[in-house]
A = this chain, B = another copy of it.
Amino acid sequence: MAGLDLFFFYGSTYTYLTVMRVETRAAAAGVTLRWRPFNVRAIMVEQQNIPFADKPVKAAYMWRDLERRAGRHGLGWAGAPPYPIDRELLANRVGQVAAEEGWCAGFTRSAYRAWFLEGRALGAAGTLEPILAELGQDPARVLAAARSEAAAERLERETDAARALGIFGSPTFAVGSEIFWGDDRLDDALDWARQSAAS
């Protein structure tokens, strides 16, 4: 069966469009999906890739484009959410625990819903507990695991894997060593995964 790796970062804005629809789209295409949160911020700092922080005109466009695209995909929109978020990478470390334990898809959708539709800055005090509780996870256990050395190391390993593939942004879809950057490349990536599996 065709496989697709979704490399993403809790804190990337366009990733909202992807995480809310990728599972349905991949299933419809017969493509298995692997959720791989990684630290795109570290890679962007290394590469001096600063798309928005010092670019107000481009940042203003980004929010408008996201709003229109959310509408196009039938996703909710409640205005620009807090940004940037998760400076201490706690949400991204919870993502490691969730990926390790197999509940990353549901966590990621809930996290992005909380961020984009309820304006909660993921990673800030008290933002992750209710999301985890609603998913039937024990917040204390998960947050302790997220704060462990193991979660930090897993995040670093996944970031190394992304870097080795030439990944520089979130979301990026990988089919083997072929990478597709940006939510607007989802169809291309699914097509590539299907063709790779068929050949």
Interface positions of A (Cβ within 8 A of B):
47-49, 54-55, 57-58, 60-61, 65, 68-69, 72, 166, 168-169, 179-182, 184-185, 188
Closest-CB distance, A64 to chain B (whole angstroms): 8
Task: From B48, B55, B166, B188, give the contact of A72 (CB < 8 A).
Answer: B188
| Complex Cα spacing A61 to B181, Å | 9
* A68 CB contacts on chain B under 8 angstroms: 188
Closest-CB distance, A47 to chain B (whole angstroms): 6
Q: Is the CB of B188 within 8 A of A57?
A: no
Task: From B47, B58, B185, give the contact of A57 (CB < 8 A).
Answer: B47
* A48 CB contacts on chain B under 8 angstroms: 54-55
User: Given A48-B54, A48-B55, A55-B47, A61 and B166 touching (CB < 8 A)?
Assistant: yes
Q: Is the CB of B166 within 8 A of A60?
A: yes
| Complex Cα spacing A48 to B54, Å | 8
Q: Is the CB of B168 within 8 A of A61?
A: yes
- A to B CB contacts below 8 Å, 9 in the list: A47-B57, A48-B54, A48-B55, A49-B58, A57-B168, A61-B166, A61-B168, A65-B181, A182-B184
